[in-house]
């Protein structure tokens, strides 16, 4: 935690900052011209849309597939996923932060001949209702729910109340026709990933999608083991994501969970449907 943030940790209310976006263009060798709305928050990293990122997703996704992106942020991964599944597929993109959600919505409105993104401003929670997230700055760029972690450790001192929804109920009520084609579930929730996955356990059991989950840098060994054990219990092979263009890094065992401070898991169904 930064010392300048101490007053906010002790209860002082910050002045929120809002930032717009600019539209960038990328020319991909296979997918052609792609537009992307880049959030202008100074701490929002600029990640170009690359052909190799899309190609890596196409090793397990096909046109017409359905993906769920939880913690979609501005859409830097949502757009490549949407390109991989094409306009006949769908990406259900969830981002509860009202400061960045307009950028995600802007990306959903671009490239309509090549993608189909459905943005929703909700967090994935066990029950419907409000939930408090913590962020690292007053522009609410990087943050989430940090259950089980000391605020003095993770240092995200800027609080934001967001809307949570039980996504299984929402999806079965509103998008039931898409669920049989569910092939990919991406979760980026800063240590809240296991809670999200547990809230979707019935869908995971029924449709057995590939899963990309984050191992947060402040997660304890016990938290990492709980996530690993959950995925193993649902008949997944678990690898470390080696990069945006390589999901098939090291095959992981319990002994590997503390080898890296912060990394992503890629869970591959042993008996895909």
Provide the pLDDT confidence category of residue 1 given band limits of 50, 70 and 90. very low
Rg (CA), the chain: 18
What CA–CA distance (Å, rounded) separates 84 from 90?
A: 10
Instruction: Tell me which residue of 155, 144, 137 sits closest to 196, measured CA to CA.
Output: 144
- Cβ distance 204 to 227 under 8 Å? no
Q: Please say whether the beta carbons of 241 and 188 come within 8 A.
A: no
**Separation CA 232–CA 18 (nearest Å):** 41
Q: What is the pLDDT of residues 57-89, one digit of tens each?
A: 999 999 999 999 999 999 999 999 999 999 999
Phi, psi at 88, each rounded to 5°: -85, -10
Helix (H) or strand (E) run with residue 155 in it: none
Name which of 262, 70, 65, 62 is nearest 185 in CA terms: 70
Give the number of other Cβ atoms within 10 Å of residue 211's Cβ: 24
CA distances from 223 to 141, 155, 192 (A): 24, 18, 10
Query: Which of 10-24, 72-86, 89-103, 205-219 is the least confident region?
Result: 10-24
- Say whether pLDDT at 126 is over 90: yes
What is the mean predicted confidence (pLDDT) over 191-218? Answer: 94
pLDDT of residue 216: 87
pLDDT score of 143 more than 80 = no
Domains in the chain: boundaries: 3-269
Tell me the C-alpha distance between 48 and 204, whole Å. 31
pLDDT, mean of residues 98-114: 97
Please name which of 109, 92, 49 lies closest in space to residue 187, comparing C-alpha atoms.
92
- CATH class, range 3-269: alpha beta
């Amino acid at each position: 935690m930064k010392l300048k943030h101490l007053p906010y940790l002790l209860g002082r209310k910050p002045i929120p900052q809002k930032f717009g976006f600019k539209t960038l263009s990328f020319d991909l060798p296979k997918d052609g011209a792609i537009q992307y709305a880049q959030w202008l928050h100074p701490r929002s990293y600029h990640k170009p849309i690359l052909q190799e990122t899309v190609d890596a997703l196409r090793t397990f996704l096909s046109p017409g597939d359905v993906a769920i992106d939880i913690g979609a942020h501005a859409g830097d991964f949502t757009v490549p996923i949407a390109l991989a599944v094409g306009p006949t597929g769908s990406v259900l993109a969830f981002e509860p932060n009202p400061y960045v959600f307009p950028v995600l919505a802007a990306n959903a409105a671009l490239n309509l001949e090549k993608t189909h993104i459905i943005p929703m401003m909700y967090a994935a929670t066990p029950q419907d209702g409000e939930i408090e997230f913590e962020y690292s700055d007053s522009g609410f760029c990087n943050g989430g729910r940090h259950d089980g972690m000391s605020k003095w450790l993770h240092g995200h001192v800027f609080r934001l109340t967001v809307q949570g929804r039980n996504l299984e109920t929402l999806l079965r009520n509103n998008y039931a026709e898409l669920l049989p084609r569910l092939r990919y579930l991406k979760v980026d929730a800063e240590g809240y990933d296991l809670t999200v996955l547990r809230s979707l356990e019935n869908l995971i059991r029924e449709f057995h999608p590939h899963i990309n989950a984050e191992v947060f840098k402040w997660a304890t060994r016990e938290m990492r083991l709980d996530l690993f054990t959950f995925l193993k219990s649902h008949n997944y092979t678990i690898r470390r994501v080696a990069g945006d263009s390589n999901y098939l890094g090291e095959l992981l065992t319990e002994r590997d969970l503390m080898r890296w401070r912060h990394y992503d898991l890629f869970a591959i169904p042993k008996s895909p449907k």
